[in-house]
Structure 1
């Protein structure tokens, strides 16, 4: 079977389009990640508190974290369904030991997440344990 120049060009165009679709698919999914938005952990406040942990994720993954007591910064990196969270320094506030321990456990769980999933206004960070956040809408 011989290919004419026109057939070869058509085949090359089809291959280029297919590669473009495959390469763009992870990017499209990463764009569904809520960059530039705030979200709140899907839990009730602790007894005697109105505070619930929240994340404010910037357009490039830079993150402001407010926990039950501590706060700080971190960085999310997203590639398709894969996620990496690297925490930065946390502000040492006057935290009771039980709240400080909960904050440390939440940061550790978030750091261990390897995947993410979006279902409507809910974002789940999936690892050994799953954390579910609700997107804040104003």
Structure 2
């Protein structure tokens, strides 16, 4: 009986001393919004809903779709899935395609507080964690 109580006490201390999710970790299980203005005539700004295991739901300026992040250290790989063409105006469709291509070209990531940056491709993409 005492061994069970001691074991439970050790488990409790170990669990409570485990680190909480760091603000330096990849934002699995969170939603992020691109640091960009909306396109003229629209209020939408692209956002990514990132699942706990890296699955992604993308809502772009007009299109939407899915993808998958794989992360090891500061290395990131984004593989786009199906992207829905929603009869978008040409300028928004082109911007959506360019954003998906930039996500796929990113090779590294970093996080400082609520800002996640993906870089290594032709441009650095900055996203803000949705904290509401």
Structure 2 match to 1:119? 112
Q: How many residues align?
A: 110
Q: Which residue of 2 aligns with 1:6?
A: none
Unaligned runs of 5+ in 2: 1-20
The residue matched to 2:81 in structure 1 has which SS? strand
Secondary structure of the 1:56 match is: strand
* Structure 1 SS opposite 2:41: coil
Structure 1's consecutive aligned runs of 4 or more residues displaced over 3 angstroms after TM superposition are: none
- Name the counterpart of 1:37: 30
RMSD, aligned α-carbons: 1.5
- Greater per-residue helix proportion: 1
CA distance in 2, matches of 1:77, 1:32: 13
Instruction: Quote the offset at 1:79 in angstroms.
Output: 0.1
Give structure 1 stretches of 5+ with no counterpart: 1-27
* Offset, 1:72: 0.3
When the two structures are superposed, what TM-score results if normalisation uses the length of structure 1?
Answer: 0.77
CA contact 2:39–2:92 (8 Å) conserved in 1 = no
**Does residue 110 in structure 1 map to residue 126 in structure 2?**
no
**Rg: which structure is higher?**
1
